[in-house]
Amino acid sequence: MTEHIAIYGKGGVGKSTLTSNLSAALAEAGFSVLQVGCDPKGDSCSLLNNGVPIPTVFDLLREQGEISVDSVVHKGFKGIACIELGDPFDSGKCGSAEIARALEHLKRIDLFEAVAPDFVLYDISGDSACSSFHAPIQQLGVSRVFVVTTADFMSLHAANAIFRMLERYGESNVPVPVGGLIPNSIASSFEESFIADFAAQTRTRTLGRIPRSLMVRQCELYGKTVIEASPISNQSYFYRRLANQIVDEFHSQANASVPLRPEELRAWALEWGDRIHALENGLVTDGAAI
């Protein structure tokens, strides 16, 4: 059975790099993987293809008026099947609606049956996510949503917006469970605590912490994943651990997240602002030393 996984995240959090390393770790473990890049930049799969971009679904539709399984699927590292939807904005229509249309094209040509992978990973920008975008993905059988985040407020603000979108969509459709938040580029225990507290506030969880490392940047410059370019590095371990956690996720039950209302999110942010102020200024509150 194919497991469809949606990976959301605000632009700039390293979502595509993480997704490619996750695909590589799953393939290394013996699973067959299809990665579908839904970002308009069309660069989701480049690290699986030696840094070289692949033709996109939208480019092929504009140039040829039609697509086939052979024309849109490109094999990358360890046989990972790669697809890039590409830039939908040349049409002058809603980007999310056009990406939904591209996914419908893939379904129409029976691509998922032809490739028949163990896992399909959809790399989705959280900046443009909306219900019209998520609907066709769920129709393809998405059974888990993961949100990649860094330890900055705007990244968590975007994660909360994604949770709100999923909640609104679930009001009239079958809700898709959130597998959890994936903390990426983490540099300290404080950042872990910050994200973990947000997860607790939204009734979700964290998994697979990925530390900040120059190894990731170096491998990106080589056009490769860390799994391929530096397979025995410590950084590779973290991606492999995340892959194992996601595989195990399908043996457990996940619940829908509960997004914070705008006033709750603001109050939470102010509380953490006060904590950081106290930490930086060495303030001790009553009973803190007991």
CA 181/CA 115 separation, integer angstroms: 28
- Told to judge if 127 belongs to the known catalytic residues of this protein, a careful annotator would answer yes
Residue 223 bridge partners (DSSP): none
User: Which of 41, 107, 118, 197 is flagged as catalytic?
Assistant: 41
User: Which of 15, 59, 78, 224 is flagged as catalytic?
Assistant: 15
- Told to judge if 274 belongs to the known catalytic residues of this protein, a careful annotator would answer no
- Told to judge if 70 belongs to the known catalytic residues of this protein, a careful annotator would answer no
CA 194/CA 72 separation, integer angstroms: 40
- Told to judge if 15 belongs to the known catalytic residues of this protein, a careful annotator would answer yes
Provide DSSP, 244-286.
HHHHHHTTS------PPPHHHHHHHHHHHHHHHHHHHHT---T
Provide DSSP, 220-253.
HHTTS-HHHH-TTSHHHHHHHHHHHHHHHHTTS-
Identify whether the C-beta of residue 169 lies closer than 8 Å to the C-beta of residue 96: no
Tally of CB atoms within 10 A around 288? 8
User: Which of 43, 118, 127, 152 is flagged as catalytic?
Assistant: 127
Tally of CB atoms within 10 A around 167? 15
CA 257/CA 225 separation, integer angstroms: 30
68 phi and psi angles, rounded to 5 deg: -135, 170
**DSSP state, 163?**
H
Q: Catalytic site residues?
A: 10, 15, 41, 127
